[in-house]
Every structure is written in C-alpha cells, then in structure tokens.
Amino acid sequence: MRQLVLIALPLLLTACPMSEGNQGGGDPTADAGVIRDSGSARPDLGVPSQATRIQELRSGTIAAETQVLVEAVVVTAISPGRGLWVQQGSGPDSGMYLFGSEAADSEGLSVGKEIDLQGVFTIFNDLKQIKFPTILAMREGQLPEPLLVSAADLAISASYEGMLVRAEALSIVNANPDGPDDDFGQIELNDGLVLDDDLFSELRNGRVFLRLAGTEFNSITGIAHLSFDKRKLLPRSAEDFDVVGGAPDLTVTVQQIQQGELAENTPVALSGVVVTAVSHVSQEERRGFWVQQGRGQYSGIYVFFGSSQLPELAPGSIVNVEGTYSEFYNQSQIIRARVEVTGSGEVPEPSIVIPGELAGASDSDNNAEPWEGVLVAIENVVIDQPNPDSDDGEPCPRGAEDCTDFGTVSVNGLRLTTRLWPDMSDGDAFTRVQGTSFSRVVGIAEEAFGQHSLAPRSAADLSP
C-alpha cells in the first residue's frame, strides 16, 4: 500500500503581484509592488465591445485604468488566492499577470486552459497587469512552448514580463542574496537574473537541486516577472528544472543525522523508517510523529508538522520521509516534511535503559543525547516527585493559582511527561503519589523545555 502525502509550507497569501517573504521572515519593503484592494468595490463598467490583445496593452497605446476585454489567452501559471499568468501567442510582449484571487480560484481553472476575461488594465510599480479580472469563458487550450531567452536578456528586458520562458546554461552565483539573517526564497543566478520561490515553495529546501554557489543547470523554465525592482524567473514545479548531473541524492540514515554528520538545514531523505509514536490529537499546533531506523542509540528522530494535517499514521507505519534537518531547542527534527506511507510493520522493541542515563537538564553531563527520539523502556522505578514542577513536588491543590502542574511526574529522578498522553496523571492509570512503583515504563526519550524526559504513549506503556 502506498499513500503519498505532500506537505509544504504554504505561500503567504497577500494581495500582491508577488511577495518575497512567503515562508517566514519579515521584509520591511513588503508593500513594494503591491496593489491593495482596501475594500473598494469592483468597478462595474460593463464589457467592452471590442477585444484588446496583450501586445497592445504592453505597447503603451492603452491608458492605465482602462476597462479591457481580452480573449483566447492561455493560462501559464496560477498562484492560488492571489492571481494568475496568461499568454497570447508566443512572441515577446505576449504575457500578462492577472491580479485577483477570485479569478485564480475559479472552479475548473488550470494551467493550459484558454479563457476570455475582462478587467482593468493598470501599471503598478512598473508591473503591467490586469486587476479585478473576471473570467467570461473557459475551454481547453494549448500551453505555449517556453520561449528560449538568455539570462542576461531576462535580467534587463520588460518584453518577456509575464511570459513562459526558458533560460539555459545557468549557475548559482549567490544561494541567498538576502542572507544570512533573512531568507526570502531568492537565488541569484548568472548575468543578474534572480530565481524566486513564489510559485514553487520547495525551491529553497534543496530537494530539487543543491542550493549552493556553483550549482549548474542545463535549463530552468518559468514565468518571467518583475517585483521589488528585480527581474525574476519563477519556476512552477520540480519539472521546470534540468539540473546538471540530475537531482541530488538526499538519502541518509537517522543515525547519520543524530551523530552530527550533517549540518543543520541540510535536506534529507529517510527510507523505510518505522513510526513509533504520533502526537496526540489535542496537539493542533504541535503535530508530528517519531520514526526509528533499527534499534539502539541514535536510531530515532522527530518529524515536525506543526499545524499542518498529519497523514494517516499509527505506530508500525512504514514511511519514507523527505524534509530538512533542523534543531529546535536542542531537539533534532525533520521539518517541511513530505511523507510517503509504504506499508505497515512491527514497532521496534524498546531499548532498556536506566533512568540515570536519561534524567537531567539538557545541558547536564549525562548519556541522554544518544537516546533522543528512541523508543526506550525503564524498569523497577518509583515516583519520587508526583509533581516536579511545583515548589513542594506535590500535585497542585484544586483551584490553586500560584502552583504549576503540567501533569509531569518524576520516577527515580527522570521526568515522565504528558506530551503523548495528556491524561497520564488524571488518576485512572496510577496513583499520583510518592512511592507508587512501576515494573516497566515505555516511551519516547525526548528533550523538551530544557529537560531530558520520557513520554509514555498510553496506559499500555505502564506496567505496575
């Protein structure tokens, strides 16, 4: 059984021709090149009696803020919730951006459709476009072949703006011209051309090509565009790239990640790993799951989804994971993950450890780090603090406002958290008092909020 689930960080849906900060970070020039509707009503000027060609709009013979009718144009790219690009023919000055979420989200609209439309021709920050577009008719069309243009011409000429183009013999000059503190998904190519991730958010993550200076491309296809005073090329998908030497092989093991063989923010691919735990349904902002490759130290890692919907997973699911290796408060994790469920199998047997190997603060001198993310078990332990987060180590009295209680308990100096089992300490599974003993406790060894801890998954993980 194979189930493919695609997860990507969503585009920032602002009402603008293009935005450079669509995946985190803030841009002080975020309004540059932006048309704001500001709640004004769509003008109702009627449908013009005569159609205008895109070439006429781009030639300067049509005044800005003119109501226009444009027929038989082909959709070349769509930015959901924002706008779309259309083309009429294949020569220079044949492409145009349509700014309008309603048109972009029209039912049945897709790349390759031929449409008739009306709207208002305008120019904003030198970008010629049609605002308030209304699609009047839609039918099957023929996507134009990308026009072959040099990088140097794309970097300076307005004639290709809004067109589907292809540039050849390209290389990365600067992998992040907005760095090191910011990353707006831009890449500087040779001859001054800028690559931007506005239509393809995975451009920045390194899965299609290595985002490094010197990476070479036989060709890149995309939409020629102008924003923030830069002429850019906007690829639409992985298929728009022809990388010299092909796409990189990102396959690594969990052990390589956890043993420090990879730099942070490295794109990675894990193959055939087993799910050992899934976040509780109540964790709507902290969704994720843990996977393991084999058993023992360095074999487990957390896959973070945040508020994105998780695929259908359970302990024992066998998955392939592609994403980016990251550290968050000393916890190793895979972010921006794409997950393929390939089947189901057995959850690895927990590795037996002693509480002292896992207990302590994140910066303490212990042996907890190799067990991070691994399914482990401790044996013959006793509650020494029913509530290690309160001043006296005891559960908070009902209604107490100056007492902290996250449901955590401490056994032999090791914290058991409610991360995966919010009802752990409600009294049904065990008596939350000093001296309560367990012959065995199973859970995920993790590092959270400055402490090494163990997270049982359910009552089945506790043996009296």
pLDDT digits (tens, 9 = 90+) for 116-128: 999 999 999 999 9
Q: Which of 202-211, 262-271, 312-321 has the lowest mean pLDDT?
A: 202-211
Instruction: Answer with the one of 301, 326, 344 that is the final residue of a domain.
Output: 344
Residue 31 forms part of a structural domain: no
Q: What is the pLDDT of residue 25?
A: 33
Q: Are residues 61 and 109 in the same domain?
A: yes
**Residue 35: predicted pLDDT:** 37
> Which residues make Cβ contacts (< 8 Å) with residue 234, sequence separation at least 6?
18, 77, 196, 198, 199, 200, 222, 223, 224, 225
Considering the domain boundaries, does residue 37 fall inside one? no
220-243 mean pLDDT: 96
Distance, in Å, from the CA atom of 311 to the CA atom of 341, rounded to the nearest integer, reads 8
Q: What's the pLDDT score for residue 17?
A: 38
- Look over the chain and give the mean of its residue pLDDT values, rounded to a whole number: 89
pLDDT, average across residues 356-379: 87
Phi then psi for residue 462, to 5 deg, are -110, 130
Could you give the percent of the chain with pLDDT greater than 90? 75
- Determine the 3-state secondary structure of 313 from DSSP: coil
Q: Is residue 77 part of a domain?
A: yes
Q: The CATH number of the domain where 78 resides is what?
A: 2.40.50.200
| 15 & 121 share domain | yes
Q: How confident is the model at residue 230 (pLDDT cuts 50, 70, 90)?
A: very high
Mark whether 186 and 298 lie in a shared domain. Answer: no
DSSP code, position 364: S
- Render pLDDT for 25-59 as a digit per residue (tens, 0 to 9): 333 233 333 333 333 455 555 678 899 999 999 99
Q: Average pLDDT, stretch 8-34? A: 35
Residue 55 lies in a domain: yes
Instruction: Read off the CATH number of the domain in which 320 is found.
Output: 2.40.50.140
Residue 180, both tokens: 């090191």
Q: What is the pLDDT of residue 36?
A: 35
My answer on whether 171 and 188 are in the same domain is: yes
Based on the structure, what is the number of domains in the chain?
A: 4
pLDDT tens digits, one per residue of 95-138 = 999 999 999 999 999 999 999 999 999 999 999 999 999 999 99
Q: Which domain holds residue 307?
A: 254-344
Residues 131 and 157 in one domain: no
**pLDDT at residue 8 is higher than 70:** no
144-148 own/partner pairs: CB under 8 Å, 24+ apart: 144/74, 144/76, 144/87, 144/89, 144/90, 144/94, 145/90, 146/221, 147/90, 147/91, 147/92
| Residue 329: band (very low, low, confident or very high) from pLDDT cuts 50, 70, 90 | confident
Residues 317 and 394 reside in one and the same domain: no
78 in a domain, yes or no?
Answer: yes
User: Where are the extended beta strands (E) located within 308-390?
Assistant: 317-328, 331-344, 351-352, 375-385
Last residue of a domain, one of 194, 218, 243: 243
Domain end point (choices 93, 112, 140):
140
Strands 409-411 and 375-385 come out as antiparallel
Are 77 and 20 part of one and the same domain?
Answer: yes
Residue 430 has pLDDT above 60, yes or no: yes
- Kindly tell me if the per-residue pLDDT of 72 is higher than 70: yes
- Mean pLDDT over 245-262 rounds to 94
Residue 138, strand partner residues: 115
| Helix/strand/coil for 310 | coil
79 occurs within a structural domain: yes
| Cα–Cα distance for residue pair 14/189, rounded to 1 Å | 26
CATH code for the domain of 223: 2.40.50
In a domain, 2, yes or no: no
Mapping DSSP onto H, E and C, the string for 339-359 reads: EEEEEECCCCCCEECCHHHHC
| Residue 174 maps to a domain | yes
Residues 76 and 109 in one domain: yes
Same-domain check for residues 213 and 258 = no
Residues 174, 232: one domain?
Answer: yes
Instruction: Determine contact, residues 157/197, Cβ cutoff 8 Å.
Output: no
Q: Judge if 236 and 263 occupy the same domain.
A: no
Q: What is the DSSP letter of 395?
A: P
Q: Are residues 122 and 16 in the same domain?
A: yes
